[in-house]
Structure 1
Amino acid sequence: MTHEDARSILVSHPSTDLYGSDLQLLESVTALAGSGFPVHVVIPREGPLEKLLVNRGATTEVIPFPVSRKSVLTPKALPGFIIASLVATARSVRLLRRMRPDLIYANTITAPVWILAGWLTGTPTLCHVHEAEETGSRVLQLLLASPMLLCRTVVVNSLASRKVIYESWPRLNGRIRLIYNGIPQSRTTPTAFQLPRVEGIRIVLVGRLSPRKGTDVALEALARLVEQGLDASIALCGDTYPGYEWFEDRLRRRAAKDDLNGRVHFCGYVENVSYFLEKADIVLVPSIAEPFGNVAVEAQLASRPVVASNVQGLAEIIDDGRTGLLCPAGDHVKIAEAVMLLVNDPSWAAKIAQAGHDSAVQRFSVERYRESIVSEVKESIVARNAHYRLFDRLRGRRR
């Protein structure tokens, strides 16, 4: 098999859940498999994502490997992480030498062992970045971003992600490509937006229960709305990261207090997000940091007005006052004020919902996303093949 004929792609992904980057991977796999690429996805454990990947045309393999998070970059945890990474890299190198893929598609930067294994075996890597970590120390940012120096192409899902990468390692500038996420539209026509006058205002927040997602801020905003006399409730659609059980406990204690008792519904992980969005009157996305913000787009596609934090990718999705409302991150008072503005002017809220829907359809379609991903992968493979042809010619001259 020549280099031109071998067009297989090995995809590494650190999760088997069904949240933002996981669902986006499904669209990437669909695009690549649909274009004739054999796609083999390696994941660290079994989970609900695995079956969906197979349904989209990929083969899967469970190979344990460590995932880099801020929690492992501590003096206590770092030695164990390094040892686990070395073991996993050796295992990854063996797999790459056996498969000989044309390209590694590293989905997120949190599994650097595959990027390192690609460099050790001479396999080019495309890293699809779904993170935009602006908090923490400068040294930590550099460490988390450093594996991308070994990548041929870096795909980012927002200008915010691009900014963080460039500020960490300016030499990567020429390798960065911006591809906004593609969000599937519901197969059913979204119901027209209309605020209720009897049942009370139904607010929905979709996302992990974590400080980063601003779940606690949302509860305080709800408390302020109730204090002002608004009959409102909130559905929290999402579970916790392992190790963040303390945060859920804190949320539940807050929800049990007199002002919020009976108004906060913990729905756990929700597979059919569209059902909850279509039942919502207003969708909150109060994230403290958000590289893109799939939920904001999903809410727009459901024709629901969105109140979101004015941060990173959310500020790229929402045109404040036209396709949604933006508030300072962490400011529950401003969030409550934004919700009241929508409640007090239903016709304006309906216009925002419609404008958001039209914007999402135009800017964040799955078709555009899939075409862009396939184009970048093909370009990386063409560059790889050109490299091998040059290497073969040079080797022939030496002989």
Structure 2
Amino acid sequence: MTAGSRPPGSEGGQDGRAAVVLVAHPGAELYGSDRVMLETVLGLRAAGRRVVVTVPVDGPLLDDLAAAGAQVVRTRTVVLRKSALRPSGLPRLVADVLVGAVQGWSLLRRVRPDVVYVSTVTVPLWALLARLRRLPVLWHVHEAEGSQPAVVQRLLAAPLLLATGVVANSRYSVEVLRRSARRVAARVSVVHNGVPGPADPAPARAEVDGSLRLVYVGRLSARKGVDVAVEAVAALRDAGDDVELDLVGAVFPGYEWFEQGLRDRARELGVGDAVRFRGFHPSVWPFLAEADVVLVPSVVDEPFGNTAVEAVLAARPLVVSATSGLLEAADGYVSAQQVPPGDPAALADAVRRVRKEWEQRRQDALADAAVARERHAPEHYRRRMVEAVDGVAGRRA
């Protein structure tokens, strides 16, 4: 455990002690929901709350949480990923339930939180344990599996009935909930993600001489459409367009086969030298600063789209799939082009338009960055999340 200090003015919890928020999170990386949870913790700490974060694994997020003044505790729990729901994953799932219940119950007894904040739908055990201890639960929905079968959607949404309050990251996420859990959707508050970005982003280069530099930032997975981006690069180069693509991100452990497939496909298409695998980096801003165009080519539902917002904050033209929460994330930005998901030709055409209209696209992106800084200001997000936590903290089961 890494101890965080108690700031002045943090009284207000049980028995006159510091108000305590237990944050339950499924991982310790630095992708979208991880960074959003960190923003929530920063807001709670600034508001004088004592914060204890429990995660089942180690990772780079933990250092940032400790720096924010949170206590960090490794606790085993169930994380609802596809691999856990396969027959081969059943023994591990059962073990996670049993061991997680014992460890979780013990942690709740030690910490004595005033409220439990469950940061994604993938760690439902924490809500159950909290309610058994008659503790209020704020659940933050970052998922929107609208393309899944109805029965899967209902199963994922059912545990949310345990929540005292629910926050979602987009209107699209609420709409997906409405199809499967109307009682939950009726009381959800929408809080768009706070996304910190550069205070004064450098404009894109004045002229595109040589290769047009494309970048993809995020998890390397089939649902993110990384393969579509590779196919689009091949189409552009076959037509004589000088482009190169940086892929900034990594696969989930156990999915290394997907990255190898991307590498193989790039070589088959003759663009192995034009597609560079940069791996995971804690800060994406240097890569965005070097880029000319940002691609967000997801082919499956996205609840929101932090990477799209980051592109706009970096003042770079954006090409984004016209689907689900990405429509919400890119809404109103002149520099963002929306293309059909899963269509390499459409993605390639949008990239060509950026090069053809470079000066206008460059200026539009710079203007959009100012809008995004206000719309997704971390301080606004943090304030709203503190209000949401405080709104349920006094309600007991």
The 1-side partners of 2:14 and 2:27 are apart by: 33
Greater Cα offset, 191-200 or 285-294:
191-200
The 2-side partners of 1:272 and 1:93 are apart by: 36
Cα shift at 1:51: 1.1
Query: Would you say the 8 A contact 1:182–1:368 is kept in 2?
Result: yes
Q: Of residues 194, 202, 216 in structure 1, which corresponds to 2:213?
A: 202
The 1-side partners of 2:181 and 2:171 are apart by: 15
Query: Would you say the 8 A contact 1:125–1:153 is kept in 2?
Result: yes
1:214 is aligned to 2:228? no
Query: Would you say the 8 A contact 1:157–1:178 is kept in 2?
Result: yes
Cα shift at 1:320: 6.8
Counterpart position of 2:279: 268
Instruction: Give me the identity figure in percent.
Output: 41
The 1-side partners of 2:83 and 2:119 are apart by: 20
Q: Of residues 219, 225, 231 in structure 1, which corresponds to 2:236?
A: 225
Q: Of residues 336, 339, 350 in structure 2, which corresponds to 1:338?
A: 350
After the TM superposition, which segments of 4 or more aligned residues of structure 1 sit over 6 Å from their partners? Answer: none
Counterpart position of 1:324: 336
TM-aligned CA distance change 1:253 to 1:105, over 3 Å = same
Q: Of residues 166, 174, 179 in structure 2, which corresponds to 1:154?
A: 166
Letter in 2 for 1:98: R
1:172 is aligned to 2:184? yes
Letter in 2 for 1:276: F
Counterpart position of 1:390: none
Counterpart position of 1:397: none
- Secondary structure (helix, strand or coil) at the match of 1:180 reads coil
| Root-mean-square deviation (Å) | 1.8
Query: Would you say the 8 A contact 2:76–2:99 is kept in 1?
Result: no
1:366 is aligned to 2:378? yes
Greater Cα offset, 311-320 or 370-379:
311-320
Counterpart position of 2:322: 310
Query: Would you say the 8 A contact 1:235–1:265 is kept in 2?
Result: yes
The 1-side partners of 2:374 and 2:18 are apart by: 35
Letter in 1 for 2:226: T
Counterpart position of 1:393: none
Cα shift at 1:244: 1.5
The 2-side partners of 1:109 and 1:342 are apart by: 38
Q: Of residues 360, 369, 384 in structure 2, which corresponds to 1:357?
A: 369
Query: Would you say the 8 A contact 1:320–1:326 is kept in 2?
Result: no
The 2-side partners of 1:118 and 1:150 are apart by: 9
Cα shift at 1:197: 3.3
Cα shift at 1:381: 1.4
Map residues 107-118 of structure 1 onto 2, 5 A cutoff. 107-118=119-130
Q: Of residues 163, 186, 194 in structure 2, which corresponds to 1:182?
A: 194
The 2-side partners of 1:351 and 1:197 are apart by: 14
Cα shift at 1:26: 1.1
Cα shift at 1:21: 0.7
Letter in 2 for 1:221: A
Counterpart position of 2:257: 246
Q: Of residues 286, 292, 297 in structure 1, which corresponds to 2:309?
A: 297
Cα shift at 1:97: 2.2
Counterpart position of 1:396: none
The 2-side partners of 1:197 and 1:30 are apart by: 39
Cα shift at 1:229: 1.0
Counterpart position of 1:394: none
Query: Tell me, which stretches of 5 or more residues in structure 1 are unaligned?
Result: 388-399
Cα shift at 1:241: 0.7
Cα shift at 1:66: 2.4
Map residues 30-109 of structure 1 onto 2, 5 A cutoff. 30-78=42-90, 80-109=92-121
Query: Would you say the 8 A contact 2:208–2:355 is kept in 1?
Result: no
Q: How many residues align?
A: 384
Counterpart position of 2:203: 192
The 2-side partners of 1:60 and 1:285 are apart by: 33
Letter in 2 for 1:43: V
